[in-house]
């Protein structure tokens, strides 16, 4: 039998299930198929309406890292096919029975196609409002939602629309910065920012020609670089999307000047033609709990957008995009466990589509356990909580309460940004039964 792409995905899923405790995600399959067909990351992104940076700087590096761990050898875009083929050839004829994580890929038809992977649930009127706003000179949008609530999908959708209107786009996540290096030194952070925005715009690095930290200072150097170089290259509008900006909230040595800088760029669009070409999109996972001068904050101007959970109608639409014809009763049953959480729903739908022998009831029974489809996701949240003792104490209060409870502000914001709680002011409650059941067990085992 020839080593086909279907076999490659099957081997990758088996290795991932064994070591990482999860299957490949839909976007990871897109990257694998693109690499299999020798596509560049920008081609994969264009074909599937994703930002190039999301594919090349986020999904792909994590995929090769996970496959390296799963296969026990260094895996990258140039050698993954050979690595998977070696594992395929090593397998004995007597394979182990598939676990609940292993994919049912007896044929290529069992794999989702690229068109099937382009699932997107509209959240009207949000998409239209964002698009129309960014068509306006000097616009600024602030998108807030906890992690895994669909911010990246929304941004990619909007940016893809704007590129059809001859916009240039630069989509950069602060998650890619080195916190120990860039978040503790303003000059290094601003140079990193300008360099990577330039790369997103496919412009060569000209920092040394414009930067004068000693003479002009970092902020003026950065502003000059943006105005006289990045924005001056063409007459086309330019969108700067800055994702995960809340990562610098713990670093006042950077955030005070950086956020003041963003506000100044927004204000410049009122009087300067060059700056009217700039549109800013600021994406963050938590409320702004830092102290900022009201006149130097970008968080009290522009258009605020907060992503909410999917409604039942949207959940049924999402299921339909995965080829699942769900009744209202089935949608309610799933939502009783995970609510309208986009990521948790996507994981359930993808698993049920690829494992037709597993019923929704069976999936939900195992869902809040380490052996269920959310085991890896739940363990990651638990490990993250271990690094924040104040959050563990706050979460325990929420788990044990029968009604929403008042929390200390910082802990409330942190739990919200992790996606674990819903907030009404500082009143918090667990986001869904999945978290209630899992963390009730984990916190009960804490000594």
What is the per-residue pLDDT across 93-121, written as a single tens digit (0 to 9) for each? 444 444 444 333 333 333 443 334 457 89
Arithmetic mean of pLDDT, 219-245: 96
User: In the prediction, which pLDDT does 30 show?
Assistant: 87
- The arithmetic mean of pLDDT across residues 281-291, rounded, is 90
In the structure, what pLDDT confidence band is assigned to residue 176 with cuts at 50, 70 and 90? confident
Peptide bond between residue 125 and the one before it cis (omega within 30 degrees of 0) = yes
- Contact criterion met (CB below 8 Å) for 367 and 336: no
- The beta strands (E) that lie in 333-415 are given as 405-406
Residue-range domain boundaries for the chain: 5-117, 126-306, 312-367, 376-444
| Mean per-residue pLDDT, 400-417 | 92
Q: Tell me which residue has tokens 């038809």.
A: 109
**In degrees rounded to 5, what are phi and psi of residue 368?**
-85, 20
The whole-number pLDDT of residue 92 equals: 47
Percent pLDDT > 70 in the chain is 92
Average pLDDT of the residues in 365-393:
91
pLDDT for position 446:
63
**Bigger pLDDT: 439 or 6?**
439
For the domain made up of 126-306, give the CATH fold. Answer: Rossmann fold (3.40.50)
**Mean pLDDT throughout 65-83?**
91
* Mean pLDDT across 189-207: 95
Tell me the average pLDDT across 410-419: 92
Quote the pLDDT of residue 281. 98
pLDDT for the residue numbered 93: 45
For position 149, what pLDDT does the model report?
93
The two counts, helices (H) then strands (E), for the chain are 23, 8
Does 75 have pLDDT greater than 70? yes
The better pLDDT of the pair 56, 407 is held by 407
The predicted pLDDT at position 287 comes to 83
Report whether pLDDT(157) > 50. Answer: yes
Average pLDDT over residues 1-20: 83
Mean pLDDT of 284-302: 91
Q: Give the relative orientation of helices 5-19 and 26-36 as an angle to the nearest 10 degrees.
A: 140
Highest mean pLDDT of the ranges 239-248, 318-327, 373-382: 239-248
pLDDT of residue 51: 67
Mean pLDDT computed over 20-45: 84
Average pLDDT, rounded, for the chain: 88
Q: Around 375, how many Cα atoms within 13 Å sit in the side-chain half-sphere? A: 17
Average pLDDT over residues 312-320: 94
> Does pLDDT of 275 surpass 70?
yes
389, pLDDT greater than 50 = yes
Confidence at 372, pLDDT banded by 50, 70, 90: very high
Q: Write the CB contacts of 95 (distance below 8 Å, at least 6 apart in sequence).
A: none
Q: How far is CA 341 from CA 215, 245, 310, 315, 373, in A?
A: 50, 22, 7, 9, 15
**pLDDT of 301 over the 70 cut:** yes
pLDDT higher for 30 or 193? 193
What is the band of 49 on the pLDDT scale with cuts at 50, 70, 90?
low
What is the arithmetic mean of pLDDT over 318-332? Answer: 92
Q: Band of the pLDDT at 1, cuts 50, 70, 90?
A: low
As a whole-number percent, the residues of the chain with pLDDT over 90 amount to 63
Neighbours of 55 (CB within 10 A): 25
């Amino acid at each position: 039998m020839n080593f086909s792409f279907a076999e490659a995905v099957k081997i990758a899923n088996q290795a991932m299930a064994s070591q990482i405790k999860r299957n490949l995600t839909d976007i990871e399959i897109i990257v694998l198929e693109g690499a299999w067909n020798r596509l560049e990351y920008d081609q994969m992104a264009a074909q599937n309406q994703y930002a190039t940076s999301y594919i090349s700087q986020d999904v792909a590096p994590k995929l090769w890292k996970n496959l390296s761990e799963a296969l026990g050898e260094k895996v990258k875009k140039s050698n993954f096919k050979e690595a998977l083929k070696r594992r395929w050839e090593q397998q004995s004829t007597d394979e182990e029975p598939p676990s609940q994580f292993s994919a049912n890929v007896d044929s290529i038809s069992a794999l989702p196609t690229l068109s099937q992977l382009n699932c997107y649930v509209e959240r009207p009127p949000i998409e239209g409002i964002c698009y129309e706003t960014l068509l306006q000179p000097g616009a600024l949008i602030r998108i807030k939602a906890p992690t895994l609530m669909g911010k990246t999908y929304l941004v990619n959708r909007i940016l893809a629309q704007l590129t059809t209107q001859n916009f240039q786009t630069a989509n950069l996540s602060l998650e890619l910065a080195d916190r120990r290096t860039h978040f503790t030194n303003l000059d290094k952070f601003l140079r990193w920012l300008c360099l990577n925005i330039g790369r997103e715009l496919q412009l060569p690095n000209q920092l040394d020609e414009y930067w004068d930290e000693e003479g002009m200072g970092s902020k003026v150097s950065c502003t000059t670089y943006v105005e006289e170089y990045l924005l001056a290259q063409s007459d086309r509008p330019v969108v700067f999307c800055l994702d995960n900006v809340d990562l610098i909230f713990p670093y006042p040595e950077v955030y005070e000047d950086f956020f003041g800088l963003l506000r100044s760029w927004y204000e410049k669009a009122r009087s300067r033609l060059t700056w009217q070409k700039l549109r800013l999109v600021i994406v963050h996972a938590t409320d702004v709990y830092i102290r900022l001068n009201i006149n130097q904050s970008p968080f009290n101007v522009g258009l605020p957008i907060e992503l909410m959970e999917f409604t039942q109608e949207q959940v049924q639409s999402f299921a339909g995009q995965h080829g699942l014809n769900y009744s209202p009763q089935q949608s309610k049953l799933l939502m009783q466990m995970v609510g309208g959480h986009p990521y948790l729903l996507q994981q359930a739908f993808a698993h049920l589509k690829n494992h037709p022998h597993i019923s929704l009831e069976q999936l939900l029974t195992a869902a809040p356990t380490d052996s269920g489809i959310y085991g890896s996701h739940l363990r990651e949240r638990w490990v993250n909580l271990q690094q924040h003792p104040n959050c563990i104490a706050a979460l325990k209060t929420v788990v044990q309460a029968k009604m929403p409870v008042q929390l200390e502000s910082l802990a409330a914001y942190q739990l919200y940004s992790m996606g674990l709680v819903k907030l009404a002011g500082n009143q918090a409650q667990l986001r869904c039964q999945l978290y209630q059941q899992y963390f009730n067990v984990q916190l009960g085992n804490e000594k």
